[in-house]
Structure 1
Amino acid sequence: MFTALRAPSTSAARAFSTSALRGAPKSGKAIVSSLQAGAKMDGLSVFKDVPDPIALPEDEYPKWLWTLLDQPKGVPVTKAGERNFMAERKEMRNRNRASIKATNFMKTT
C-alpha cells in the first residue's frame, strides 16, 4: 500500500538547499534597509489584536535575506540540440490562452 506521506525526492530537496547560497557572488555594496531600525511597519500585521511589527537593525536579519533579490531566477539550461520543454510548454499555454480569448471575444460580438 502507498502511504499519503512521502519523503521529498532529492531533486526537490536540492531546490531548497542553502549550499547554493555559499557560492553566490558577493555584491560588495553596503546593505541598506528601506526602513530605519525601530520604524513601525503599518499594515503588516495579519491578526486583529496584534500590533504592527517594528523594523530591526540590518545586523539582526539573516544574511541570506539580503541575497533574495540578487539571485537570478532558475532558468533551465539546455545543451545544444536539446529541447527546452519548459519554454515550449509556456509558449503552448500562451497560445492556448490567446485562442480562448479570441473565441470568447467572437462569441460576445
Structure 2
Amino acid sequence: MLRLLTRSRAAPIRVITRAYSTPSQPKTPSSAPAGTVLKGCNVRKNGQDPVALEDSEYPQWLWDILDPAAQKAKLEADPVRAARKAQKARAKAILQENNFISKMNK
C-alpha cells in the first residue's frame, strides 16, 4: 500500500507500509464470559446494561489494540503520527517538570 505524505515546504515523500497479518484467534481472551451482563457500562439514560459477546463476535481491531507489538508496528509505519506522539510526550514531560519546580518555589 502506498500513500503520499507531505511536509510543509518539503517535497512529497512516498512511504511504503506493510499490512500485517492478523491472527485468527485473539491472543488475550476477554475477561467476561459470553452472556454476562456488564453492569455499570450503560451510557444511555434509559438504556440497559450491555451483554458480553463471544470473543469471535468482536472486531479484530479490538484485539489489536491490546497487542503492543501490533501498535508499535502501526506507529512505525506512520512517521508523522510517531513524531506527533513523541512531541506530546516531550511537552508532557516539560509541563510536569515545570509544575514540580513551581511547587518547590512556593
TM-score (norm 2): 0.52
Conserved? CA contact 2:38–2:52, under 8 Å: yes
Amino acid at match of 1:35: A
Structure 1 vs Structure 2: percent identity of aligned residues?
27
Q: Structure 1: where are the runs of 5+ without partners? A: 1-9, 12-18, 78-83
Larger Rg: 1
C-alpha distance in 1, partners of 2:64/2:100? 39
C-alpha distance in 1, partners of 2:85/2:25? 34
Per-residue deviation, 1:28: 6.8
- Pair 1:99 & 2:62 matched: no
Per-residue deviation, 1:97: 3.5
**Number of the residue aligned with 2:61:** 64
How many residues in Structure 1 have an aligned counterpart in Structure 2? 84
Name the structure with the higher strand share. 2
Instruction: Name the Cα RMSD after superposition.
Output: 3.7
- Pair 1:33 & 2:2 matched: no
Q: Structure 2: where are the runs of 5+ without partners? A: 6-16
